[in-house]
Structure 1
Amino acid sequence: MKLPPLKSLSFFLAAARNKSFKSAAQELFVTQAAVSQQIRLLEENLQCQLFIRDSKQTLLSTEGERLFPFIENAFSQISQGISLLSAEPDPNVLKITSLHSFTSLILIPKVNTFQLMCPEIMLQFSPSNQVVDFKDNSVDIAIRRGKGIYPGLESRQLIKDEVVLVASPLLFKDAFPPIDELVKTPLLLDISSDITPAFEQFCSEYRLSAQDFEIGLQTTDAVPVVERALSGQGMCFVSKSLVFERLNEGTLINLFDFSARSPISLFLVAPPKNFQWEKVKKFEAWLNVLFNSG
């Protein structure tokens, strides 16, 4: 047997529960005429009268009484199924995938501040530079650098990033050293997509060329670059989102106060429903406090 339209059945359920077409219309945010039309279509489909209508009230007919518990149960089952899909799994465990650099330089060093704020939530890190698809539920939230375009996912910008030139105060006591001294200092060069344009911008502003610098390291990984800069082995261009804590505490200094707006930023990424989970809300709030304090 061909089933009636689901819309008509939902209107029937609302009218039967409320014992009133008017109240059903208010519940469904439609007109009373729309409810009457859907009930009439359902009755024509089933070839029986479902309601006894009079001027005072709307009552279920014998056929309506027989149908009502089945429709009520069916919609209840649908609702439970949808809830299972959207329910927050493991509310006390938050599974995070993040760039290797962000995990090493920000998340792990600062995780204790999150644990103090939310001791009931255990964080599980999965460092990866690959974008996950969230299909197997192995990850709750991702932290990515990009332009915020991830089809099928929601992205929320954490910070408008910029690239800065930094070094340890072990190398330079003054943030504005002589240029001839600067170019003799090993440059720890991360050749990632947003770093190279910043390097070129700096060269243009100070009338230098890449050949003027002594290259001490060339890589696509920000972690060894920052670690060597911290130990005084050279200077580097780096995303400010990775070193803002170091700049605040003075273990790195921003040379020449140089900054170049990055074409990519830091985003929190997940399916839209994940952002409704309490554990994700708390983690997002913590990240916003962390970056706003920087």
Structure 2
Amino acid sequence: MFAKLPLTALRGFESAARLGSFKAAAQELNVSPAAISHQVKSLEAFLGVRLFERSSQNVRLSADGERLHPYMHRALLDIQQGLQILSPLCAAQSLVVSTTPAFASLWLIPRLGDFHRLHPEIDVSLHSSNDVVDLRRDASIDLAIRALFTPDPQLFEQPLLDEYFGVYRRPGWQPPAAGSPVELIDVPWLSSAKVAVDWPAWCAKAGTLGWLENARFRRYDEEQHALQAAIAGHGLVLASNVLVADAVAREELIDYRPEVRLAGARYTVVCVPGRERQVEVRAFSEWLLGWSIG
């Protein structure tokens, strides 16, 4: 039934398609770039279609290559998972999760002990960066938690938490007297180009544009630093309800003007299609989604 399947060529194609390079695929599979090129050419001859568009500088998937790659990636993942079933039970199962530093420190890490308690057999590693990792090319990342405004049709997605932005204050904070400057903590919240998440947008909606005329801005590059400044009493902070949730629960910060909100993204669990069936990915995703109830 499978006698004519060119398995070596399919593995070489999947690696080159995921990494976007014959050289990178050769390094991953411990063969020469010429061997990868030969494998891809033999697969193209077998299928009768061109899988890559080649130039003197690089290669990129053709339309047919784009169609084939997801099937090959899922198939090889299934084979890998089937082999892992026969691995020694004492071997630790590893899982690499990618997310932003702010989400990792303010939301995920405080809850991660619960997952370790439920699944001590799974070793979780965090990859934190504000840069979006291309999950289709970086196979070392099992899943990612992202704040998305629009879905990515090339990834398997599960909604986790809806986000909005509001202003938060330290308990006991009082609005300044008329004409007095207000201290505003400013941080560049990441958003899509069509969504403004900043003090002018919030003040316009709240009817407090006068604040901006003589405000004292306290500026930070990182969201978690801005929230710490607000907790310390350095002013009002415009923040994500998701990232500020634990500080509010501890009564370190209070929602100021809760009726005034700016639209945010949706935190979503994403992975390459097929990986959601892996035992470790499924366990972590189900645990995450348990936190979204209510």
Q: TM-score, normalised by structure 1?
A: 0.62
Match for residue 185 of structure 2 among 182, 185, 188:
188
Are 1:162 and 1:260, in contact at CA under 8 Å, matched by a contact in 2? yes
Supply the AA of the counterpart residue of 2:101. Answer: H
Unaligned runs of 5+ in 2: 5-73, 85-90
Matched, 1:282 2:277: no
Q: Distance in 2 between matches of 1:165 and 1:253?
A: 9
- Note closer, same or farther for the CA distance 1:97–1:229 as it changes in structure 2 (3 Å cut): same
* Cα offsets for 1:45-102 (capped at 9, x unmatched): xxxxxxxxxxxxxxxxxxxxxxxxxxxxxxxxxx996732565978721100101110
Deviation at 1:198, TM superposition (A): 5.4
Supply the AA of the counterpart residue of 1:186. Answer: E
Q: TM-score, normalised by structure 2?
A: 0.62
Is the partner of 1:104 in helix, strand or coil?
helix
* Cα offsets for 1:135-190 (capped at 9, x unmatched): 24211011111224335212222112100111222x52xxxx44638974421112
Q: Distance in 2 between matches of 1:133 and 1:100?
A: 17
- Note closer, same or farther for the CA distance 1:288–1:110 as it changes in structure 2 (3 Å cut): same
- Note closer, same or farther for the CA distance 1:212–1:128 as it changes in structure 2 (3 Å cut): same
Which protein is bigger by CA-based radius of gyration? 1
Matched, 1:166 2:168: yes
Residue identity over aligned pairs, in percent, reads 21
Partner of 1:236 in structure 2?
237
Q: Distance in 2 between matches of 1:88 and 1:262?
A: 45
Matched, 1:99 2:94: no
* Cα offsets for 1:232-281 (capped at 9, x unmatched): 22221011111112212211110122442424221111112111122222
Partner of 2:142 in structure 1?
140
Matched, 1:154 2:148: no
Are 2:102 and 2:223, in contact at CA under 8 Å, matched by a contact in 1? yes
**Structure richer in helix, relative to its length:** 1
Q: Distance in 2 between matches of 1:198 and 1:113?
A: 34
Report the aligned-residue RMSD. Answer: 3.2
After the TM superposition, which residues 199-238 of structure 1 pair with which residues of structure 2 at under 5 Å, given as runs?
199-204=199-204, 205-209=206-210, 211-212=212-213, 214-238=215-239
Is the partner of 2:177 in helix, strand or coil?
helix
- Note closer, same or farther for the CA distance 1:80–1:143 as it changes in structure 2 (3 Å cut): closer
- Note closer, same or farther for the CA distance 1:182–1:163 as it changes in structure 2 (3 Å cut): farther
Q: Distance in 2 between matches of 1:213 and 1:274?
A: 52
- Note closer, same or farther for the CA distance 1:202–1:276 as it changes in structure 2 (3 Å cut): same
Are 2:166 and 2:262, in contact at CA under 8 Å, matched by a contact in 1? no
Q: Distance in 1 between matches of 2:170 and 2:83?
A: 44
Partner of 1:42 in structure 2?
none
After the TM superposition, which residues 1-294 of structure 1 pair with which residues of structure 2 at under 5 Å, given as runs?
83-84=78-79, 92-134=93-135, 135-169=137-171, 171-172=172-173, 177-178=174-175, 180=177, 184-194=181-191, 196-197=196-197, 199-204=199-204, 205-209=206-210, 211-212=212-213, 214-292=215-293
Q: Which runs of structure 1 show a deviation greater than 3 angstroms over 4 or more consecutive aligned residues?
A: 79-83, 85-91, 177-185, 193-198
- Note closer, same or farther for the CA distance 1:286–1:231 as it changes in structure 2 (3 Å cut): farther
Q: Distance in 2 between matches of 1:208 and 1:188?
A: 16
- Note closer, same or farther for the CA distance 1:85–1:132 as it changes in structure 2 (3 Å cut): farther
